[in-house]
């Protein structure tokens, strides 16, 4: 009986670790995708703002916040070009 409980506990721990690793992979992919989006959107413009935005992505700022800021920056640069 004790061996069975121990086995189930170990099995549960392994499953939790696997799920945690999958979440980490998803976070890394999200960060990479956001950085790629920033690079493609702000190509050759506002280097100071872009680097600040990338730093925020590394610190774990939310995806919606990044996209909002990116839209604001893109709008500003378009306005300034006219």
Q: What is the tally of structural domains in the chain?
A: 1
Give the domain extent around 42.
2-81
**Dist. CA 59–CA 8, nearest whole Å:** 37
> 17-37 pLDDT, tens per residue?
888 887 777 667 888 888 888
Max Cα-Cα span within the chain: 77
- Indicate the pTM of the whole model: 0.53
pLDDT band per the 50, 70, 90 thresholds, residue 81: low
Buried b (16+ CB within 10 A) or exposed e, 40-63: ebbeeeeeebbeebbebbeeeeee
Counting residues of the chain whose pLDDT is more than 90, the rounded percentage is: 7
Q: Which residue has the higher pLDDT, 2 or 78?
A: 2
């Amino acid at each position: 009986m004790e061996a069975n409980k121990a086995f189930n506990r170990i099995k549960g721990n392994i499953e939790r670790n696997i799920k945690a690793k999958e979440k980490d992979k998803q976070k890394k992919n999200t960060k990479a995708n956001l950085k790629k989006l920033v690079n493609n959107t702000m190509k050759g413009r506002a280097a100071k703002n872009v680097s600040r935005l990338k730093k925020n992505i590394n610190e774990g700022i939310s995806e919606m916040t990044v996209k909002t800021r990116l839209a604001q920056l893109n709008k500003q640069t378009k306005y300034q070009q006219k």
